[in-house]
Structure 1
Amino acid sequence: MDTLPIRIIDKDFNLLAEIDNYESLIFIRRFYKVGEFELHININKSYTDKLVDGNLILLGNKLNKVGIIMHRENTYDQNGEPTDTLLIKGPTLKGLCNRRLMVPSNGGYDSFEGSQEAIMKYFVEKNCVNSIDISRKISNLLIAENKNRGIADKWRSRYENLADKLTEIGEYANLGWDINLDFNNNKFVFDIIQGRNLTADQELLPPVIFSVNFENLKSRHYIDSSLNHKNVGYCGGKGDNENRLIQQVGEVSGFDRIESFIDCSQAEDVTELKTIGNQKLDELKKIKSFEVGIIPYGSFNYELDYDLGDIITAQDKNLGVTMNSRIIEFKEIYEVNGFNLEAIFGTNIPNLLDKIKNMAKQQFSTAITGTGGNAITNIDGGSFV
């Protein structure tokens, strides 16, 4: 595959230009989190004046591969001198949800109970589509029909970032989400992604197995870590000190038991306390991740035989590893000399930004509820979430 043409459109779907002679493009699609892109192009080429903040880039005719331009700069060489290379960056269209907090309408917490898909779509509806404050509505954004995927659940929030919350719910529910273009109706469409089971253990669909032995992998990096893992939580609800309601979640015993205190001071009752505790304990699960370079059109064809969110079988006989894993990220790399594809199977690896966000969220939660003071004083110890 050669470089893929990109079309530049504005937020009202007007086509501004088409470019096919850029130097390189990296486009990262993520199942749970917001993706991103990075474009390098000589500033003297045609239509680079259209690559400005607020415009969108569309990869070919791929309506699920759209980025929002939010960064433009001239790069510098190793001597610190400016070059003619223009760097354009931004999030995928899912980044629209990064622009909203989850604002409750009654001054307390905004909560919803139903299928996990319905919960995610409810929060988008309340904060992006039909917000009480009309200035918060995102023009042309609509929500696809609810198919009630996922189990019955209950989530609540107060002034958290919407995209972060959708990621949190999605990782717990094993549901992805995306925002695609609908050119026929000039709309941005929010929907849930479930993925297919393509593992070697099932017989309904042709299995997809990635292995060095099958010559469909070029490189691999395997991580199996329990350094930050916790499997039993003591969940603190409302109240202070000895009057605080505490409930346990998780049933592991003996040597394998790893305990944590979980601040759930926003919970209204014991049932909700345990629900929130289980949701937060899930964030501390073991990390199993396989980062690989894929031969995209070898034994299996990318986006046809397998795609983002599908569950596949990954093998490495040299490492003694066989795992059925969800594809949670693709990095598409388009350059003059060809196309490369990298993928992550398994679990998201928290980075420093994730940890900072989590700490800030807990501090904010404690501040607005006025309970759980220990969550602040002990958070540096690493055992609170």
Structure 2
Amino acid sequence: MDTMPIRIIDKDFNLLAEIDNYESLIFIRRFYKVGEFELHININKAYTDKLIDGNLILLGNKLNKVGIIMHRENTYDQNGEPTDTLLIKGPTLKGLCNRRLIIPINGAYDSYTGSQEAIIKYFVESNCINPTDVSRKIQNLVVAPNLNRGFQDKWRSRYEVLSDKLTEIGEYANLGWDIVLNFNNNKLVFDITQGRDLTADQELLPPVIFSVDFDNLKSRHYIDSSLNHKNVGYCGGRGDDENRLVQQVGEVSGFDRIESFIDCSQAQDITELKTMGHQKLDELKKIKSFEVGIIPYGSFTYELDYDLGDIITAQDRKLGVTMNAKIIELKEIYEVNGFNLEAIFGTNIPNLLDKIKNMAKQQSSTAIIGTGGNTITNIDGGSFV
């Protein structure tokens, strides 16, 4: 087996055990979203009593590959009988940001203007590091120094899940984020990640080209979809009916123009209205995604020649596809028969949960304005008239 030892530590960084004889381990790293892991192990093996809620698993000495145990169960066979196999699951360390909402401090919304990196780190600082309510503070979590990556921007939020907002800003700004261990200082460090340009079009770094022709790809699944794509938005601000301020974003014309109404009723002025419109229109961009099985030690070596967040060139001559795309997800699979690696290049494909969340946000923002100022929105997005 191509084993990856896992170390079990507690939230205070104490090493509890090390295991390398599990049945299978799937560890999913995501550039914009929170990753996850799933471990299968026989309960009779040593140290399985340490695989409990709240402890962390660390893959080898990879400080950026850490999971939080949040689920433990005995699996069942085809007859419904319990087996000796334990199923252990949880999010990556980024899942700490699932545990906090963005709480407005002054006024209906919490907003920040600055570089996109500064905005992301502001929301983490305000809700995890130095919140007004000290009970919301996450011990040992720190934010790395701000390098002001990304463009000048403005974002606002109200009782949204912090990780969802970080994903939304990150996808718009093309910035990833992560939380990694720092054993030297016993800290969990939040920082922005960007990746490298390894495409065939540049000459600064050795290019990475994934292609069946180069014997570094196995399975592949390509999606190029504009079914939910919109490229021109009519953004509605404050006001009702003919008195409502509406501004257009997007300049596409003719056959290719696809219009959508975008609710931006929380915008304070025209500048913010257009900014929010562009941000929300970006969520309706075309989907270009290449899901592949990678031969991890073929012509390129995983984590040496390429890694999560890098931009590579993917080719499939049979499908007539050549695309420069960011590696947004990597699934590491450790099993008895060896190590497998699956990747997603390109654009996140919205799942049903993503679509429900977007619908809820639209309904919530509409409720805040209401009719005649008589609607009050509660924390969960419901409304009382």
Whether TM exceeds 0.5 here: the answer is yes
1:222 is the counterpart of 2:222: yes
Residues 197-224 of structure 1 deviation map (CA, whole Å, 9 limit, x = unaligned): 0000000110000000000001100000
**Structure 1 residue 372 displacement after superposition:** 11
Residues 164-186 of structure 1 deviation map (CA, whole Å, 9 limit, x = unaligned): 00000000000000000000100
- Give secondary structure in 2 for the equivalent of 1:343: strand
- Give secondary structure in 2 for the equivalent of 1:13: coil
**Structure 1 residue 242 displacement after superposition:** 1.2
Q: Quick one: distance in 2 between partners of 1:64 and 1:127? A: 22
The 5 Å alignment of 1:95-110 reads 95-110=95-110
Partner in structure 1 of residue 69 of structure 2: 69
> In structure 2, do the counterparts of structure 1 residues 252 and 204 end up closer, same or farther at CA, with 3 Å as the change threshold?
same
1:135 is the counterpart of 2:129: no
Q: In angstroms, what is the RMSD of aligned CA positions?
A: 1.2
1:120 is the counterpart of 2:120: yes
The 5 Å alignment of 1:205-220 reads 205-220=205-220
Residues 80-123 of structure 1 deviation map (CA, whole Å, 9 limit, x = unaligned): 11111100000000000000000010132111111100100000
Residues 224-272 of structure 1 deviation map (CA, whole Å, 9 limit, x = unaligned): 0000000000000001111111000001111111110000011000000
Partner in structure 2 of residue 30 of structure 1: 30
Partner in structure 2 of residue 275 of structure 1: 275
**Structure 1 residue 3 displacement after superposition:** 1.5
Amino acid at match of 2:53: D
Partner in structure 2 of residue 198 of structure 1: 198
Q: Quick one: distance in 1 between partners of 2:35 and 2:274? A: 32
Q: Quick one: distance in 2 between partners of 1:313 and 1:356? A: 33
**Structure 1 residue 371 displacement after superposition:** 6.1
Amino acid at match of 2:131: S
Partner in structure 2 of residue 311 of structure 1: 311
> In structure 2, do the counterparts of structure 1 residues 371 and 235 end up closer, same or farther at CA, with 3 Å as the change threshold?
farther
The 5 Å alignment of 1:229-244 reads 229-244=229-244
TM-score, normalised to structure 2's length?
Answer: 0.95
- Give secondary structure in 2 for the equivalent of 1:222: strand
Partner in structure 2 of residue 379 of structure 1: none
Partner in structure 2 of residue 150 of structure 1: 150
Does the CA contact (< 8 Å) of 1:53 and 1:72 recur in 2?
yes
After the TM superposition, list the runs of 4 or more consecutive aligned residues in structure 1 that deviate by more than 4 angstroms. Answer: none
Amino acid at match of 1:147: L
Amino acid at match of 1:152: Q
Does the CA contact (< 8 Å) of 1:265 and 1:372 recur in 2?
no
Partner in structure 1 of residue 377 of structure 2: none
Does the CA contact (< 8 Å) of 1:114 and 1:154 recur in 2?
yes
Q: Quick one: distance in 2 between partners of 1:8 and 1:31? A: 24
Q: Quick one: distance in 2 between partners of 1:168 and 1:291? A: 21
Partner in structure 1 of residue 250 of structure 2: 250
Amino acid at match of 1:255: F
- Give secondary structure in 2 for the equivalent of 1:4: coil
Q: Quick one: distance in 1 between partners of 2:369 and 2:206? A: 51
TM-score, normalised to structure 1's length?
Answer: 0.95
Does the CA contact (< 8 Å) of 1:265 and 1:371 recur in 2?
no
Does the CA contact (< 8 Å) of 1:42 and 1:86 recur in 2?
yes
- For structure 1, the 5+ residue unaligned runs are 374-385
User: Sequence identity, in percent?
Assistant: 88
1:264 is the counterpart of 2:264: yes
- Give secondary structure in 1 for the equivalent of 2:356: helix
Q: Quick one: distance in 1 between partners of 2:185 and 2:68? A: 19
Residues 331-370 of structure 1 deviation map (CA, whole Å, 9 limit, x = unaligned): 0000111000000000000000111111112222222343
Q: Quick one: distance in 1 between partners of 2:47 and 2:81? A: 24
Q: Quick one: distance in 1 between partners of 2:279 and 2:220? A: 31
- Give secondary structure in 1 for the equivalent of 2:155: strand
- Give secondary structure in 1 for the equivalent of 2:367: helix
> In structure 2, do the counterparts of structure 1 residues 371 and 66 end up closer, same or farther at CA, with 3 Å as the change threshold?
farther
Aligned length in residues: 373
Q: Quick one: distance in 1 between partners of 2:347 and 2:113? A: 26
Residues 282-309 of structure 1 deviation map (CA, whole Å, 9 limit, x = unaligned): 0000000000000111111101110000
Q: Quick one: distance in 1 between partners of 2:320 and 2:192? A: 34
1:165 is the counterpart of 2:165: yes
> In structure 2, do the counterparts of structure 1 residues 146 and 32 end up closer, same or farther at CA, with 3 Å as the change threshold?
same
> In structure 2, do the counterparts of structure 1 residues 372 and 141 end up closer, same or farther at CA, with 3 Å as the change threshold?
farther
Partner in structure 1 of residue 378 of structure 2: none
Q: Quick one: distance in 2 between partners of 1:15 and 1:371? A: 57
Q: Quick one: distance in 1 between partners of 2:346 and 2:207? A: 17
- For structure 2, the 5+ residue unaligned runs are 374-385
> In structure 2, do the counterparts of structure 1 residues 18 and 369 end up closer, same or farther at CA, with 3 Å as the change threshold?
farther
Does the CA contact (< 8 Å) of 1:5 and 1:18 recur in 2?
yes
Does the CA contact (< 8 Å) of 1:9 and 1:17 recur in 2?
yes
Partner in structure 1 of residue 39 of structure 2: 39
Amino acid at match of 1:197: D
Q: Quick one: distance in 2 between partners of 1:329 and 1:370? A: 40
1:49 is the counterpart of 2:49: yes
Q: Quick one: distance in 1 between partners of 2:260 and 2:11? A: 46
Partner in structure 2 of residue 376 of structure 1: none
